[in-house]
Structure 1
Amino acid sequence: MTYFIALLKARNEYLFYFGMLSLLSAVIMFAVSKFSNVQISGVNAWYKPSKFALSIGIFSLTMGWYTGYLFYKYIHIYNWAMIIFLGFEVFYISLQASRGQLSHYNISSTLYASLTVVMAISAIAATLYTGYIGILFCTGNFAEFPDYYLWAIRFGIFLFVIFALEGTIIGANGSHRVGGAGGSAIPFLNWSLQYGDLRIAHFIGMHALQVLPLVAFYVLKDIRLVISAGIMYGLLACFCLVLALNARSLFSF
């Protein structure tokens, strides 16, 4: 484990430290949630920032690993873009949680509406820049590792981009739920058990970034199987999206 952590740090030191700081923040905020009774929309206020920090931490460490394969002289610009854009997201969501106020969907004042727009722009910019990193994996020479692993990284990045941009659908809907508010939900994740929930497809699609390369490298080890798995994984995320848009819960079957 010590060797792996040292290797992860060596591959991209900036994203390593940012990722580790995000994970530490997630742990601290989850611990705070156990001592805080503050709620936002019926859910502990600290759940949301802890989930965002956890997700951003995993994303940063993952992209830190992948960018270690690239010969991209402007990688420092990508690193700082991720730190600034995603760091702002976690900071603002955490600040609002500490004040017991909404971060997303908050249009109660001009300031909050403006900050919501800034969050959206930050998320889209980080996503599109990551898409460019995916293009580099399609145009570069990667003879040092197997084709099936390379294809898994490509699929992982592009599915991440597609379903990260699904966040615009959530924003346009004004809520992550479709068909109703309230009702029973999965603890911590807060995914609805009764109504459509757009976050499920968002989550599944974005984490193709980790799932597909890991499965390809350790299990499938065949380019045709990896391509098939990538297509099936994308269809699964699309199925969850269509289900949510039709106000149906994935857990209602």
Structure 2
Amino acid sequence: MAGLAVVSAAGLLADDRVLVGSPIWLKPLKFSLSFALYGLTLAWLLGRRPARSRTGWWAGTAVAVTGTVEMAVIVGQTVRGRRSHFNFATPLDQALFQIMGATIVVLWLATLVIAALQFRGGPGADRAATWAVRLGALIAVAGLALGGLMLLPTPDQRAAAAQGLRDAVGAHSVGVPDGGPAMPLTGWSTTGGDLRIPHFVGMHALQLLPLFPLALGLLGRRVPRLNAERVRLRLVLVAAGAYTGLLALVTWQALRGQPLLRPDALTLGALAGLLAAAALGTYAALRAPFRPYDSTGTTAPAQELTA
């Protein structure tokens, strides 16, 4: 995938074709970078297990194989100058899109298996870090599943199908056609909702939530109370709850056909409520009583007990 990202970047420079409003090699570039990060993260998750798991090996292999097949279709369609997603224009286009659909189902199931493996306890594991990994994996599985919303036909597509026309089924955008004005790099619609946003937010919980306890550990040098494992665990649970709320919020916003950067009063009110709940949860996590022991079971320093 890293090598393919280089090839795709060269394609952006050498190939000036445009497809659905974007440079034709932009999609292979974004997908190859995403798969590279995804594969590295899953490999790290599998490497966290105290012993090698045959189930984990097969799940990781399934992700690698299905990701390769999907990228082969995307790049092949790019070379042909055809859409890879939602394309039912010809029997070949339809077959290739259905192959991609089958591979993503297998990839989702394999990711679910890897997430489930994270719930096998390990000796001496830091609970805050462990639960950050577990919850991040579960939210990522949900984010992957939300990609299925893009497969639903739009009203225009349903009307065309009623007349016997079926060139495309599904779309990224809600309320506007794909290929309209979009944000740079991401390509997310600036005039309507975009279902790629919750898909993106959900999947990247796989990286962001495990990084959160690492950040707490660094802050613990200045805030001794954060050295207590129970406090870090509470804060991880609050962060996971807030992240889940954010995922629900951007999904709701996209389904209402609303651009990410143009929220209405209802969306802003929901965001304010989410931030207030996260702030209250953080305050409660920091102020609640806790046992004066660190993750090793030794008595915490005196400055922590009085913090």
The aligned runs of 1:98-247 (5 Å cut-off) are 98-138=79-119, 140-173=120-153, 174-181=170-177, 182-219=179-216, 222-247=232-257
Going from structure 1 to structure 2, the CA distance change for 1:75 and 1:176 (only over 3 Å counts) comes to same
User: For residues 258 and 133 of structure 2, what CA distance do their matches in structure 1 show?
Assistant: 31
User: What is the CA deviation profile of residues 82-103 of structure 1, one whole-angstrom value per residue up to 9, with x for unaligned ones?
Assistant: 1210101111101111111100
Contact 2:253–2:259 (CA under 8 A) maintained in structure 1: yes
Query: Which residue number corresponds to residue 50 of structure 1?
Result: 29
Normalised TM-score (structure 2): 0.72
User: For residues 135 and 69 of structure 1, what CA distance do their matches in structure 2 show?
Assistant: 13
Two-structure CA RMSD over aligned residues (Å): 1.4
User: For residues 82 and 183 of structure 1, what CA distance do their matches in structure 2 show?
Assistant: 32
Indicate the larger mover: 152-161 or 70-79.
Answer: 70-79
Normalised TM-score (structure 1): 0.87
Indicate the larger mover: 157-166 or 67-76.
Answer: 67-76
User: For residues 183 and 110 of structure 1, what CA distance do their matches in structure 2 show?
Assistant: 27
| Partner SS for 2:152 | helix
- When the two structures are aligned, how many residues end up with a matched partner? 231
User: What is the CA deviation profile of residues 171-216 of structure 1, one whole-angstrom value per residue up to 9, with x for unaligned ones?
Assistant: 1241010011243211121111110001011101100000000122
Indicate the larger mover: 70-79 or 197-206.
Answer: 70-79
| Partner SS for 2:261 | helix
Given residue 205 of structure 1, which amino acid in structure 2 is its aligned partner? G
User: What is the CA deviation profile of residues 61-92 of structure 1, one whole-angstrom value per residue up to 9, with x for unaligned ones?
Assistant: 00101101223123332232112101011111
Given residue 173 of structure 2, which amino acid in structure 1 is its aligned partner? R
Contact 1:152–1:230 (CA under 8 A) maintained in structure 2: yes
Deviation at 1:161, TM superposition (A): 0.7
Contact 1:194–1:251 (CA under 8 A) maintained in structure 2: no
| Partner SS for 2:57 | helix
Given residue 231 of structure 1, which amino acid in structure 2 is its aligned partner? G
Query: Which residue number corresponds to residue 67 of structure 1?
Result: 46
Contact 1:164–1:202 (CA under 8 A) maintained in structure 2: yes
Runs of 4+ in 1 over 3 A off after TM superposition: none
- 1 or 2, which has the higher helix percentage? 1
User: For residues 85 and 186 of structure 2, what CA distance do their matches in structure 1 show?
Assistant: 16
| Partner SS for 1:141 | coil
Unaligned runs of 5+ in 1: 1-21
Structure label with greater radius of gyration: 2
Contact 2:191–2:259 (CA under 8 A) maintained in structure 1: yes
Given residue 43 of structure 2, which amino acid in structure 1 is its aligned partner? G
Given residue 175 of structure 1, which amino acid in structure 2 is its aligned partner? A
Query: Which residue number corresponds to residue 293 of structure 2?
Result: none
User: Does residue 25 of structure 1 match 2:35?
Assistant: no
User: For residues 37 and 46 of structure 2, what CA distance do their matches in structure 1 show?
Assistant: 14
Deviation at 1:148, TM superposition (A): 0.7
Deviation at 1:219, TM superposition (A): 2.5
| Partner SS for 2:37 | helix
User: For residues 151 and 93 of structure 2, what CA distance do their matches in structure 1 show?
Assistant: 14
User: For residues 35 and 111 of structure 1, what CA distance do their matches in structure 2 show?
Assistant: 27
Given residue 30 of structure 1, which amino acid in structure 2 is its aligned partner? A
| Partner SS for 2:85 | coil
User: For residues 235 and 123 of structure 2, what CA distance do their matches in structure 1 show?
Assistant: 20
Unaligned runs of 5+ in 2: 154-169, 218-225, 227-231, 264-307
Contact 2:77–2:83 (CA under 8 A) maintained in structure 1: yes
User: For residues 125 and 4 of structure 2, what CA distance do their matches in structure 1 show?
Assistant: 34
| Partner SS for 1:252 | coil
